[in-house]
């Protein structure tokens, strides 16, 4: 049966591990979104496959239960901001991997200019400098809901919340970054 305490994998590995095009594509995604390893891409891809498989299944059925499940699926993906509010099952099927990676907390922290790079955004999240809706979250892969997106901020007790912190100053351009040229030629 298996141990109920043992965690199961939340992703599936690619069938061909040494496929050149897939490897180069994953390397570009990892660099663009500041991912730690390929497992994060595989998890997002499994998330995408799960919901597209569910949407394909629901398109075929016309029962009342299928309609309830369809409404639940659309409501969840709309709340995550993955599909537009007027979206339907076709918009679920048109989701791409970049859409999911773009809704991660790490990416949104960088896009909201709370960090200089996506790698620094990951570090701030892991070190508990970031809150979402008042809750400290230390998981960079957390999918931020549309309602929570405006509530991403520094923790109040975090040194990053102070305006005179060097990381905050370097983002605003008040001081040159450490190691940057001082304007001399």
- Hey, how many other C-beta atoms are within 10 angstroms of the C-beta on 83? 22
| pLDDT confidence of residue 183 | 41
Find the mean pLDDT for residues 132-141: 95
Instruction: Give the pLDDT score at 101.
Output: 97
Residue pLDDT, tens place only, 74-84: 999 999 999 99
Instruction: Please answer whether residues 88 and 94 qualify as being in contact, where contact means their C-beta atoms are separated by less than 8 angstroms.
Output: no
Q: Is residue 3 part of a domain?
A: no
Give the model's pLDDT for residue 78: 96
Q: Which domain holds residue 36?
A: 20-100
Whether the predicted pLDDT of 108 surpasses 50: yes
| Residue 40 counted as domain residue | yes
Give the alpha-carbon dihedral of 134, 139, 143, 147, to 10 degrees. 10
Looking at the fold, whether 79 and 50 belong to one and the same domain comes out as yes
152 in any annotated domain: yes
Whole-number Cα distances in Å, 20 to 43, 91, 172? 20, 30, 40
| pLDDT tens track for 149-180 | 999 999 999 888 888 888 775 665 554 444 34
Q: Please tell me the pTM assigned to this model.
A: 0.84
If asked whether residues 108 and 92 sit together in one domain, one would say no
Of 44, 66, 100, the residue at which a domain comes to its end is 100
User: Does residue 125 share a domain with residue 82?
Assistant: no
From CA 138, how far away is CA 6, in angstroms rounded? 22
Which pLDDT score is estimated for 166? Answer: 83
Tell me: do 108 and 133 sit in the same domain: yes
| 86 lies in the same domain as 113 | no
The enclosing domain of 125 has a CATH number of 3.10.290.10
């Amino acid at each position: 049966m298996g141990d109920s305490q043992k965690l199961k994998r939340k992703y599936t590995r690619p069938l061909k591990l040494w496929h050149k095009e897939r490897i180069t594509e994953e390397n570009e995604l990892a660099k663009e979104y500041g991912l730690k390893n390929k497992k994060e891409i595989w998890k997002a891809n499994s998330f995408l496959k799960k919901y597209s498989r569910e949407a394909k299944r629901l398109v075929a059925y016309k029962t009342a239960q299928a309609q309830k499940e369809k409404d639940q699926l659309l409501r969840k993906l709309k709340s995550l901001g993955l599909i537009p509010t007027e979206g339907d099952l076709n918009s679920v099927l048109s989701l791409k991997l970049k859409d999911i990676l773009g809704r991660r907390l790490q990416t949104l922290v960088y896009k909201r200019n709370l960090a200089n790079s996506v790698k620094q955004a990951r570090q701030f999240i892991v070190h508990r400098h970031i809150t979402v809706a008042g809750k400290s979250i230390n998981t960079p892969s957390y999918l931020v809901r549309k309602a929570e997106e405006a509530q991403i901020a520094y923790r109040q007790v975090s040194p990053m919340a102070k305006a005179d912190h060097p990381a905050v100053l370097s983002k605003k351009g008040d001081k040159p970054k450490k190691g940057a040229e001082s304007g001399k030629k």
